[in-house]
Protein backbone atom coordinates (compact mmCIF):
# COMPACT_ATOMS: atom_id res chain seq x y z
CA UNK A 1 0.00 0.00 0.00
CA UNK A 2 1.32 3.43 -0.89
CA UNK A 3 1.13 6.45 1.38
CA UNK A 4 -0.21 9.20 -0.92
CA UNK A 5 -3.85 9.97 -0.24
CA UNK A 6 -4.05 7.82 2.90
CA UNK A 7 -4.34 8.83 6.55
CA UNK A 8 -1.56 7.90 9.00
CA UNK A 9 -1.74 8.20 12.78
CA UNK A 10 1.61 8.52 14.56
CA UNK A 11 1.81 8.39 18.35
CA UNK A 12 4.75 10.04 20.03
CA UNK A 13 4.74 12.02 16.81
CA UNK A 14 6.10 15.30 18.20
CA UNK A 15 9.69 14.14 18.79
CA UNK A 16 12.29 11.50 18.06
CA UNK A 17 11.28 8.52 15.93
CA UNK A 18 7.68 9.70 15.73
CA UNK A 19 8.61 13.16 14.49
CA UNK A 20 10.87 11.72 11.81
CA UNK A 21 8.06 9.39 10.72
CA UNK A 22 5.58 12.26 10.60
CA UNK A 23 7.97 14.26 8.44
CA UNK A 24 8.68 11.39 6.04
CA UNK A 25 5.05 10.30 5.70
CA UNK A 26 3.89 13.86 5.16
CA UNK A 27 6.54 14.39 2.48
CA UNK A 28 5.38 11.16 0.81
CA UNK A 29 1.84 12.49 0.48
CA UNK A 30 0.06 10.99 3.48
CA UNK A 31 -2.42 12.94 5.60
CA UNK A 32 -0.71 12.77 8.98
CA UNK A 33 -2.26 12.93 12.43
CA UNK A 34 0.31 13.59 15.16
CA UNK A 35 -0.69 12.28 18.59
CA UNK A 36 1.44 13.33 21.57
CA UNK A 37 1.29 14.55 25.17
CA UNK A 38 3.47 17.54 24.27
CA UNK A 39 0.90 20.02 23.02
CA UNK A 40 3.33 22.80 22.14
CA UNK A 41 5.73 20.63 20.13
CA UNK A 42 2.90 18.69 18.50
CA UNK A 43 0.99 21.77 17.40
CA UNK A 44 4.16 23.42 16.09
CA UNK A 45 5.15 20.39 14.03
CA UNK A 46 1.62 19.95 12.69
CA UNK A 47 1.56 23.58 11.57
CA UNK A 48 4.92 23.16 9.85
CA UNK A 49 3.88 20.00 8.00
CA UNK A 50 0.27 20.87 7.31
CA UNK A 51 -0.66 17.90 9.51
CA UNK A 52 -3.28 17.48 12.24
CA UNK A 53 -2.46 17.37 15.97
CA UNK A 54 -4.35 15.71 18.80
CA UNK A 55 -3.34 15.66 22.45
CA UNK A 56 -2.97 12.03 23.49
CA UNK A 57 -1.78 10.24 26.61
CA UNK A 58 -1.47 6.67 25.34
CA UNK A 59 -1.62 5.28 28.88
CA UNK A 60 -5.16 6.67 29.21
CA UNK A 61 -7.76 4.71 27.19
CA UNK A 62 -10.19 7.64 27.11
CA UNK A 63 -7.49 10.01 25.88
CA UNK A 64 -6.59 7.59 23.08
CA UNK A 65 -10.22 7.15 22.05
CA UNK A 66 -10.78 10.91 21.92
CA UNK A 67 -7.56 11.48 19.98
CA UNK A 68 -8.33 8.82 17.38
CA UNK A 69 -11.88 10.16 17.05
CA UNK A 70 -10.50 13.66 16.56
CA UNK A 71 -8.03 12.53 13.93
CA UNK A 72 -10.79 10.67 12.10
CA UNK A 73 -13.11 13.67 12.19
CA UNK A 74 -10.38 15.87 10.73
CA UNK A 75 -8.80 13.54 8.17
CA UNK A 76 -10.84 10.35 7.83
CA UNK A 77 -10.21 6.79 8.97
CA UNK A 78 -6.52 5.96 9.20
CA UNK A 79 -5.09 3.19 7.05
CA UNK A 80 -1.73 3.38 8.84
CA UNK A 81 -0.77 3.66 12.50
CA UNK A 82 2.80 3.92 13.78
CA UNK A 83 3.20 3.62 17.55
CA UNK A 84 6.29 5.51 18.68
CA UNK A 85 5.15 6.79 22.09
CA UNK A 86 7.33 5.30 24.81
CA UNK A 87 9.34 5.89 27.97
CA UNK A 88 12.58 4.39 29.25
CA UNK A 89 14.00 3.51 32.65
CA UNK A 90 17.37 2.36 33.96
CA UNK A 91 16.45 1.06 37.41
CA UNK A 92 18.16 -2.09 38.64
CA UNK A 93 16.15 -4.73 40.47
CA UNK A 94 18.09 -3.99 43.65
CA UNK A 95 19.71 -0.57 44.00
CA UNK A 96 21.28 1.58 46.69
CA UNK A 97 17.87 2.75 47.86
CA UNK A 98 16.17 -0.63 47.86
CA UNK A 99 14.18 -2.82 45.52
CA UNK A 100 12.98 -1.66 42.09
CA UNK A 101 10.09 0.76 42.58
CA UNK A 102 6.76 -0.76 41.57
CA UNK A 103 5.32 2.54 40.38
CA UNK A 104 8.18 2.99 37.90
CA UNK A 105 7.67 -0.52 36.52
CA UNK A 106 3.94 0.11 36.22
CA UNK A 107 4.46 3.43 34.41
CA UNK A 108 6.81 1.88 31.84
CA UNK A 109 4.37 -0.95 31.19
CA UNK A 110 1.39 1.44 31.07
CA UNK A 111 2.95 3.62 28.38
CA UNK A 112 4.95 1.11 26.33
CA UNK A 113 2.63 -1.91 26.42
CA UNK A 114 -0.87 -0.89 27.45
CA UNK A 115 -0.48 2.38 25.57
CA UNK A 116 0.44 0.55 22.38
CA UNK A 117 -2.52 -1.80 22.87
CA UNK A 118 -4.92 1.12 23.41
CA UNK A 119 -3.90 2.66 20.09
CA UNK A 120 -3.96 -0.60 18.13
CA UNK A 121 -7.43 -1.58 19.28
CA UNK A 122 -8.95 1.82 18.50
CA UNK A 123 -7.33 2.10 15.09
CA UNK A 124 -7.90 -1.51 13.99
CA UNK A 125 -11.59 -1.34 14.93
CA UNK A 126 -12.06 1.58 12.57
CA UNK A 127 -9.87 0.16 9.79
CA UNK A 128 -12.14 -2.83 9.35
CA UNK A 129 -14.81 -0.56 7.83
CA UNK A 130 -12.52 0.68 5.03
CA UNK A 131 -12.74 -0.49 1.45
CA UNK A 132 -9.76 -2.56 0.32
CA UNK A 133 -6.91 -0.38 -0.92
CA UNK A 134 -5.51 -2.86 -3.44
CA UNK A 135 -6.02 -6.23 -5.14
CA UNK A 136 -4.74 -8.06 -2.06
CA UNK A 137 -7.69 -6.77 -0.07
CA UNK A 138 -5.44 -4.70 2.20
CA UNK A 139 -7.19 -2.25 4.50
CA UNK A 140 -4.43 -1.07 6.78
CA UNK A 141 -1.01 -1.45 8.39
CA UNK A 142 -0.04 -1.29 12.07
CA UNK A 143 3.60 -0.58 12.97
CA UNK A 144 4.74 -0.86 16.58
CA UNK A 145 8.06 -0.05 18.23
CA UNK A 146 9.81 -2.76 20.19
CA UNK A 147 13.57 -2.60 20.90
CA UNK A 148 16.65 -4.78 20.79
CA UNK A 149 16.36 -4.57 24.59
CA UNK A 150 13.55 -7.12 24.21
CA UNK A 151 16.21 -9.65 23.21
CA UNK A 152 19.49 -8.24 24.59
CA UNK A 153 18.36 -7.09 28.01
CA UNK A 154 21.12 -5.58 30.13
CA UNK A 155 21.50 -4.51 33.74
CA UNK A 156 19.16 -1.68 34.64
CA UNK A 157 16.67 -2.69 31.99
CA UNK A 158 14.16 -4.96 33.71
CA UNK A 159 11.11 -2.75 33.17
CA UNK A 160 12.07 -1.50 29.73
CA UNK A 161 13.02 -4.93 28.41
CA UNK A 162 9.82 -6.43 29.80
CA UNK A 163 7.74 -3.78 28.06
CA UNK A 164 9.48 -4.06 24.71
CA UNK A 165 9.43 -7.85 24.90
CA UNK A 166 5.67 -7.65 25.29
CA UNK A 167 5.33 -5.40 22.25
CA UNK A 168 7.39 -7.84 20.19
CA UNK A 169 5.40 -10.83 21.45
CA UNK A 170 2.03 -9.38 20.45
CA UNK A 171 3.09 -8.89 16.82
CA UNK A 172 2.37 -12.34 15.36
CA UNK A 173 -0.94 -12.95 17.16
CA UNK A 174 -1.99 -9.44 16.19
CA UNK A 175 -1.26 -10.19 12.54
CA UNK A 176 -3.18 -13.45 12.76
CA UNK A 177 -6.16 -11.83 14.47
CA UNK A 178 -6.39 -9.11 11.84
CA UNK A 179 -5.59 -11.13 8.70
CA UNK A 180 -9.26 -11.72 7.90
CA UNK A 181 -9.76 -7.95 7.88
CA UNK A 182 -6.81 -7.28 5.54
CA UNK A 183 -4.75 -5.54 8.21
CA UNK A 184 -1.02 -6.20 8.60
CA UNK A 185 1.06 -5.82 11.79
CA UNK A 186 4.83 -5.42 11.99
CA UNK A 187 7.13 -4.32 14.81
CA UNK A 188 10.44 -2.48 14.51
CA UNK A 189 13.09 -3.24 17.14
CA UNK A 190 15.54 -0.32 17.01
CA UNK A 191 19.00 -0.36 18.49
CA UNK A 192 20.40 2.90 19.83
CA UNK A 193 19.00 5.97 18.07
CA UNK A 194 19.59 9.70 18.41
CA UNK A 195 16.38 10.53 20.26
CA UNK A 196 15.46 12.38 23.47
CA UNK A 197 15.36 9.01 25.26
CA UNK A 198 19.15 8.64 25.01
CA UNK A 199 19.92 12.32 25.72
CA UNK A 200 20.91 11.52 29.30
CA UNK A 201 23.59 8.98 28.39
CA UNK A 202 27.14 9.81 29.42
CA UNK A 203 29.70 10.37 26.67
CA UNK A 204 31.55 7.31 27.95
CA UNK A 205 28.51 5.05 27.61
CA UNK A 206 27.61 6.46 24.20
CA UNK A 207 31.17 5.84 23.05
CA UNK A 208 31.02 2.24 24.20
CA UNK A 209 27.76 1.65 22.37
CA UNK A 210 29.21 3.13 19.19
CA UNK A 211 32.28 0.90 19.55
CA UNK A 212 30.09 -2.18 20.03
CA UNK A 213 28.11 -1.43 16.86
CA UNK A 214 29.63 -3.33 13.91
CA UNK A 215 28.69 -0.99 11.05
CA UNK A 216 28.04 1.83 10.77
CA UNK A 217 29.74 2.57 14.07
CA UNK A 218 27.21 5.11 15.31
CA UNK A 219 23.70 5.52 16.64
CA UNK A 220 20.81 5.34 14.23
CA UNK A 221 19.19 8.48 12.90
CA UNK A 222 15.44 8.91 13.38
CA UNK A 223 14.79 9.15 9.65
CA UNK A 224 16.34 5.69 9.21
CA UNK A 225 13.56 4.36 11.45
CA UNK A 226 11.01 6.35 9.43
CA UNK A 227 12.43 4.95 6.20
CA UNK A 228 11.82 1.40 7.42
CA UNK A 229 8.32 2.31 8.63
CA UNK A 230 7.51 3.59 5.13
CA UNK A 231 8.91 0.44 3.55
CA UNK A 232 6.74 -1.71 5.84
CA UNK A 233 3.66 0.18 4.67
CA UNK A 234 4.66 -0.22 1.04
CA UNK A 235 5.76 -3.88 1.10
CA UNK A 236 2.62 -6.05 1.34
CA UNK A 237 4.44 -9.26 2.23
CA UNK A 238 5.85 -7.89 5.48
CA UNK A 239 3.54 -9.12 8.20
CA UNK A 240 3.62 -10.67 11.66
CA UNK A 241 7.33 -10.12 12.21
CA UNK A 242 9.78 -8.09 14.31
CA UNK A 243 12.53 -6.35 12.34
CA UNK A 244 15.77 -5.44 14.12
CA UNK A 245 17.15 -2.06 13.07
CA UNK A 246 20.47 -1.94 14.89
CA UNK A 247 23.52 -1.97 12.57
CA UNK A 248 24.40 -5.38 14.02
CA UNK A 249 24.57 -4.18 17.64
CA UNK A 250 24.19 -6.79 20.38
CA UNK A 251 23.93 -5.22 23.82
CA UNK A 252 26.32 -6.45 26.53
CA UNK A 253 26.38 -5.96 30.30
CA UNK A 254 28.03 -2.91 31.78
CA UNK A 255 31.60 -3.25 32.99
CA UNK A 256 31.77 -4.67 36.50
CA UNK A 257 28.20 -5.99 36.36
CA UNK A 258 28.96 -8.64 38.94
What string of DSSP letters covers 96-156?
A: TTEEPPHHHHHHHHIIIIIHHHHHHHHHHHHHTTSPPSSTT---EEEEEE--GGGTS--TT
Distances from the Cα of 237 to the Cα of 50, 62, 136, angstroms: 31, 33, 10
Active-site choice (160, 189, 245, 247):
160
- Cα gap 142→83, rounded to integer Å: 8
Q: Is 256 left (phi over 0), alpha (psi -120 to 50) or beta?
A: left
Q: Is position 160 annotated as part of the catalytic site?
A: yes
Give dist(CA 176, CA 174) in Å, integer.
5
User: What are the residue numbers of the active site?
Assistant: 160
Amino acid sequence: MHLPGHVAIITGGASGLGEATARRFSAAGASVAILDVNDAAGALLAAELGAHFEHCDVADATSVEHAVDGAQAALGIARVAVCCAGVGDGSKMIGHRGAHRLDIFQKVMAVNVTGTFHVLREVAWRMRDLEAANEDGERGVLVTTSSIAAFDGVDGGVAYSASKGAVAAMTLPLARDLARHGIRAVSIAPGTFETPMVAGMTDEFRGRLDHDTPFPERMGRPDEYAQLAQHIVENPILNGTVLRLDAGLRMRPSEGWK
